[in-house]
Amino acid sequence: MASRRSAKVARARRILILNGPNLNLLGRREPEQYGPQTLREIEEQLRSYAGSRGAEIRFVQSNHEGALIDAIQNAVGWADAMVVNPAALTHTSVGLRDAILAADIPAVEVHLSNIYRREQFRHQSLIADVAVGQITGFGAFSYLLGIQAALHLLEKESS
């Protein structure tokens, strides 16, 4: 009988990329803070990178907390890991935090800007303690680092 772990090794790794409120405005919203790339451009780069690593990724962006929670719950049984940019919900959403915890899918929290170099209220993440790790302040490269971290965790888990 094949173990669950060996079954995971046989197929492509699956990663959910979750994007919170206002990230659909990337490229035109405060480009000095968040960079000039649109979310679609970032997604294209990530899809290319993930493909080169034999990984499958799904993207979800919503301005609605409930839709993000639904996406996490729907990822159970599909995703091996999540890369989550909760955006403003980082600092306010107990519901998003609880969904990540309940899903029991390793999550890497990412932020385009360094939240610790910004306003004081942004220094607290309600997600950090349920995420495996946090990447902050590298612009669009934060997502690539997040995928690399997720794949590293999955490779480590399967060995």
Q: Where are the domains of the chain?
A: 12-158
> Is 91 one of the annotated active-site residues of the chain?
no
CATH for 12-158 is 3.40.50.9100
The answer, yes or no, to whether residue 3 has pLDDT greater than 50, is no
- Interval 78-96: pLDDT, tens: 999 999 999 999 988 999 9
For residues 131 and 61, what is the distance between their CA atoms, to the nearest angstrom? Answer: 19
Amino acid 6: pLDDT: 46
Given 34, 64, 116, 152, the catalytic residue:
34
Q: Which residue in 41, 44, 46 sits closest to 26, CA to CA? A: 41
The pLDDT of residue 4: 46
Band of residue 32 on the pLDDT scale cut at 50, 70, 90: confident
Told to judge if 111 belongs to the known catalytic residues of this protein, a careful annotator would answer yes
The single residue of 64, 111, 123, 152 carrying the catalytic annotation is: 111
- Supply the pLDDT for residue 118: 74
Reply yes or no on whether the pLDDT at 124 is more than 80: yes
Return phi, psi of residue 38, to 5°.
-80, 165
Q: What pTM, to 2 d.p., does this model score?
A: 0.88
